[in-house]
């Protein structure tokens, strides 16, 4: 991999070969997708793609962030004949032959990752995040605990916060956690004295990576730097477990609501490399 300056846009052909995308490589996420009326199909390197039936005989097949070009002849041979096949390559960036550009949005186009090189991971953060971390660690009334799914959900249900899609996030977290037999999902809660002020849940995968799943915040998190404390705990716990990559999943792109901008601005305090997946292709067969 070519070494880049922090916050450079990482060219996809330079992505680390051992860094995968959890939505197409995590066994836990694979099982979760079956609850979304998707049929999962295996690829090489433990990756997978999915099929969704639309209007009975019509189907969509999606290959997301995988470099293997979908085998159209194989699809015709083994599956229904009326398809739209969507392909979002992972590291390949050249326009593939006989594929058409897909102008409609079908995926998150912007993401980022950080590399944990040593126990001083936080020294690569922006100055404001370093100051917030120090403030959090100096407050003896704050603590973070790893908890199971039931406790995580219990405290969140009891919290008096207004958040769009609160029920959907809770349902998503509960469902995906039900498939987590290996304890890949880590749930963290930040307490101020005995009051819960912030939550963070992440998923470890591929024996070297950890990705953001859901997070919830109360009004106190900004003044107490609670979320910075949770992120620091996440990095530290990942380093302790020999994980190399931290992934916050998607950043705001042109297809997302403007209210996501503050969330993206906050994430950028901790990131090393931004990655763009603005190209996607399709075929009708």
Note whether 93 and 160 are same-domain residues.
no
pLDDT per residue as tens digits for the range 173-187:
999 999 999 999 999
Q: Give domain status of residue 188, yes or no.
A: yes
Q: Are strands 58-64 and 83-88 parallel, antiparallel or unpaired?
A: parallel
Residue 129: Cβ within 10 Å count: 19
The CA-atom distances, in angstroms, between 214 and each of 11, 152, 171, 205 are 27, 11, 11, 16
Residues 154, 65 share a domain: no
Q: Which domain, by its residues, includes 164?
A: 117-243
Count up the domains in the chain and report the number: 2
**What is the tens place of the pLDDT at every residue in 244-264?**
999 988 766 665 566 666 677
Same domain, 21 and 94: yes
> What proportion of the chain, given as a percentage, has pLDDT over 90?
42
150 is a domain residue: yes
My answer on whether 100 and 32 are in the same domain is: yes
Non-local CB neighbours of 165 within 8 Å, separated by 6+ positions: none
90 and 142 together in one domain: no
- For residue 136, give the CATH number of its domain: 3.40.630.30
162, part of any domain:
yes
Say if 158 falls within a structural domain.
yes
Same domain, 88 and 193: no
Query: pTM of the prediction?
Result: 0.88
Domain identity same for 35 and 149: no
Residue with the bigger pLDDT between 252 and 202: it is 202
């Amino acid at each position: 991999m070519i070494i880049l300056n922090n916050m450079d846009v990482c060219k996809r052909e330079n992505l680390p070969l051992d860094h995968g995308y959890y939505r197409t490589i995590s066994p836990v996420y694979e099982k979760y997708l079956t609850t979304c009326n998707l049929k999962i199909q295996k690829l090489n390197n433990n990756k997978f793609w999915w099929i969704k039936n639309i209007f009975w005989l019509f189907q969509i097949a999606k290959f997301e962030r995988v470099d293997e070009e979908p085998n159209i002849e194989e699809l015709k041979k083994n599956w229904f004949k009326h398809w739209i096949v969507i392909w979002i390559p992972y590291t390949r960036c050249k326009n593939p032959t006989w594929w058409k550009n897909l102008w409609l949005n079908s995926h998150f186009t912007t993401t980022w990752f950080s590399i944990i090189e040593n126990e001083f991971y936080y020294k690569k953060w922006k100055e404001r995040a370093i100051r917030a971390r120090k403030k959090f660690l100096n407050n003896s009334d704050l603590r973070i605990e790893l908890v199971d799914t039931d406790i995580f959900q219990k405290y969140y249900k009891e919290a008096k916060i207004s958040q769009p899609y609160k029920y959907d996030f809770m349902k998503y977290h509960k469902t995906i956690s039900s498939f987590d037999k290996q304890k890949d999902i880590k749930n963290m809660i930040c307490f101020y004295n005995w009051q819960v002020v912030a939550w963070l849940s992440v998923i470890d995968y591929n024996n070297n990576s950890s990705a953001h799943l859901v997070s919830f915040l109360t009004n106190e998190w900004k003044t107490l730097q609670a979320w910075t404390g949770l992120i620091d705990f996440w990095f530290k716990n990942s380093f302790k477990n020999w994980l190399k990559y931290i992934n916050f999943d998607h950043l705001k792109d042109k297809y997302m609501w403007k209210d996501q901008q503050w969330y993206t601005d906050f994430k950028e305090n901790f990131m090393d490399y931004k990655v763009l997946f603005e190209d996607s292709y399709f075929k009708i067969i």
